Amino acid sequence: MSKTAQLNRSQALAAAELASHDAFAPVLSLRGVARTYQTGGGRTLDVLKGVDLDIRPGEIVGLIGPSGSGKSSLLHAAGLLEHPTAGRVAVAGVDCTELNDRARSGLRLRSIGFVYQFHHLLAEFTALDNVALPQMIGGTPKAKARARAKELLVRLGLGDRLAHQPAQLSGGEQQRVAIARALANQPRLLLADEPTGNLDTATSGAVFQSLFDLARIQGVGALIATHNMELAGFMDRVFAIQDGHLVERRR
């Protein structure tokens, strides 16, 4: 692609993202999303068999289901970390099906925050820098990135942990830093894959509360995989993955 064509394409993408900034446009749309894995010996495993889902700004949606039911597969497709075998994924109004890797990375950086079960923080950096760095990669000047990082960490109760490295933080604190990092670029969509899976009950309750509060304040749409049914009860909608399909659960 020529430089001009690339520029036009990114301008068109930015315009589509901007146009989708109306209060009701979904931040995530999945249509017929399927995922099949090759499992050796010519065998295949159909983990997702056609998932449809819309998540709107400010909406917090839970994803439950036993280990191996496909929660991570669905989150990775929604987070543009992997390509679904079939179906379409649209994030912030942009259909990602035909996008190249570069455009997908750009959209991911601007519009998606991802929280993993294990924090995946950078060990050599302080809490503050872990939250400031993705903003700087996105083009935010250092001073502004650090100011926003501080604001987020203070709001998450980590005001006196700014200079700590991940190894100097408890599990719950590490996950709060990971949440701050995921929200640092003001994404439209927050994805979390069992973010409290390795925390005790009281700590995971507090971490979830932080996540809910910030998500609602920022108006992001969230899709959160969890084993914890009690926490799932605080979400707006909850789906189970059953035999490759989403089934809505009464809370």
Binding site for ligand ADP (CB under 6 A): 37, 39, 45, 47, 65, 67-73
State the DSSP H helix or E strand holding residue 190, giving kind and residue range, or none if neither.
strand 189-193
Residue whose CB is less far from ligand ADP, 7 or 45: 45
Residue 62 binds: one of Mg ion, ligand ADP, none (C-beta under 5 to 8 A by kind): none
Task: Please list the residues that pair with 200 across neighbouring strands.
Answer: none
**Phi and psi at residue 217, in whole multiples of 5°?**
-60, -45
Of 244, 220, 234, 122, which Cα lies nearest the Cα of 178?
A: 122
Residue 176 binds: one of Mg ion, ligand ADP, none (C-beta under 5 to 8 A by kind): none
Distance CA 132, CA 122 (A): 12
Residue whose CB is less far from ligand ADP, 37 or 144: 37
Q: How far is the CB of 229 from ligand ADP (least distance, A)?
A: 15
Q: How far is the CB of 34 from ligand ADP (least distance, A)?
A: 13
DSSP code for 119: -
72 part of the interface to Mg ion, by CB under 5 A:
yes
137 Cβ neighbours under 8 A, 6+ residues apart: 109
Give the position of tokens 């692609």.
1
Q: How far is the CB of 236 from Mg ion (least distance, A)?
A: 22
Q: How far is the CB of 88 from ligand ADP (least distance, A)?
A: 19
175 part of the interface to Mg ion, by CB under 5 A:
no
